[in-house]
A and B are shown apart, each in its own frame.
Chain A
Amino acid sequence: MPETAVPTFPLSRASGCPFDPPPRYATLREEEPVSPIRLWNGQVAWLLTRYADQRAVLADPRFSADVTRPGHPAQSAGVQARRAPDRLPFIAQDDPEHNHQRRMFTAHFTVRRVAAMKPRIQEIIDRLLDRMEAAGPPADLVSAFALPMPSLVISELLGVPHRDHGLFQRAARTLVTLASTAEESRAAAGELADYLDHLITVKEREPADDLLSSLVAERVRTGELGREYLVENAILLLSAGHETTANMTALGTLALLHHPEQLAVVRDSDDPARVANAVEELLRYLTITHSGRRRVATEDVEIAGTVIRAGEGVVLANDAGNRDGTVFPDPDRLDIDRPEVRRHIAFGHGSHQCLGQNLARAELQLAYPALLRRFPGLRTTVPDGELRFKEDMLVYGVHELPVAW
Chain B
Amino acid sequence: MRIAIDQDKCCAAGQCVLAADDLFDQRDEDGVVVLLDAAPPAGALDRAREAATLCPAAAIEVSA
Whether both chains belong to one complex is answered with yes
Q: Which residues of A contact B (CB under 8 A)?
A: 58-59, 99, 102-104, 106-107, 109-112, 342-343, 347-355, 357-358
Contact residues in B for A58 (Cβ distance below 8 Å): 56
Contact residues in B for A352 (Cβ distance below 8 Å): 11, 56
B12 in the interface (beta carbon within 8 A) = yes
The answer for the CA separation of A103 and B27 in the assembled complex, in Å, is 11
Contact A353 B28 (CB under 8 A): no
Q: Which of A106, A107, A111, A351 contacts B9 (CB 8 A)?
A: A351
Contact residues in B for A355 (Cβ distance below 8 Å): 13
Contact residues in A for B50 (Cβ distance below 8 Å): 342
Contact B12 A110 (CB under 8 A): yes
Contact B11 A102 (CB under 8 A): yes
Q: Which of A104, A342, A350, A354 contacts B57 (CB 8 A)?
A: A350
Q: Which of B11, B26, B28, B53 contacts A343 (CB 8 A)?
A: B53
The answer for the CA separation of A302 and B13 in the assembled complex, in Å, is 28
Contact residues in B for A102 (Cβ distance below 8 Å): 11-12
Number of B interface residues at 8 Å Cβ cutoff, please give it: 22
Contact residues in B for A347 (Cβ distance below 8 Å): 13
Contact residues in A for B58 (Cβ distance below 8 Å): 59
Contact A111 B11 (CB under 8 A): no
CB nearest to A58 among chain B residues:
B56
Contact residues in B for A357 (Cβ distance below 8 Å): 13-14
- Smallest beta-carbon distance B21→chain A, Å: 8
- Smallest beta-carbon distance A356→chain B, Å: 10
- Smallest beta-carbon distance B63→chain A, Å: 20
Contact A349 B56 (CB under 8 A): yes
CB nearest to B17 among chain A residues:
A111
Contact A59 B31 (CB under 8 A): no
Contact B30 A107 (CB under 8 A): yes
Contact A106 B31 (CB under 8 A): yes
Q: Which of A103, A107, A111, A348 contacts B56 (CB 8 A)?
A: A348
B23-39 interface mask toward A, CB cutoff 8 Å, 1 = contact, 0 = none?
00010111110000000
Contact A112 B26 (CB under 8 A): yes
Contact residues in A for B12 (Cβ distance below 8 Å): 102-103, 106, 109-110
Contact A110 B14 (CB under 8 A): yes
The answer for the CA separation of A358 and B57 in the assembled complex, in Å, is 16
Contact A343 B56 (CB under 8 A): no
- Smallest beta-carbon distance B13→chain A, Å: 5
Most B CB within 10 A of own CB, among A109, A350, A358: A358
- Smallest beta-carbon distance B59→chain A, Å: 9
Q: List 25 A-B contacts (CB under 8 A).
A: A59-B56, A59-B58, A99-B11, A103-B30, A103-B31, A103-B32, A106-B12, A106-B32, A107-B28, A110-B12, A110-B14, A110-B17, A110-B26, A110-B28, A343-B53, A348-B56, A350-B56, A350-B57, A352-B11, A352-B56, A353-B13, A353-B57, A355-B13, A357-B13, A358-B14
Contact A106 B30 (CB under 8 A): yes
- Smallest beta-carbon distance B32→chain A, Å: 7
B19 in the interface (beta carbon within 8 A) = yes
Contact residues in A for B17 (Cβ distance below 8 Å): 110-111
The answer for the CA separation of A350 and B13 in the assembled complex, in Å, is 10
The answer for the CA separation of A29 and B53 in the assembled complex, in Å, is 22
The answer for the CA separation of A355 and B18 in the assembled complex, in Å, is 15
CB nearest to A218 among chain B residues:
B29
- Smallest beta-carbon distance B3→chain A, Å: 18
B54 in the interface (beta carbon within 8 A) = yes
CB nearest to B53 among chain A residues:
A343
Contact A109 B57 (CB under 8 A): no
- Smallest beta-carbon distance B41→chain A, Å: 22
The answer for the CA separation of A358 and B21 in the assembled complex, in Å, is 14
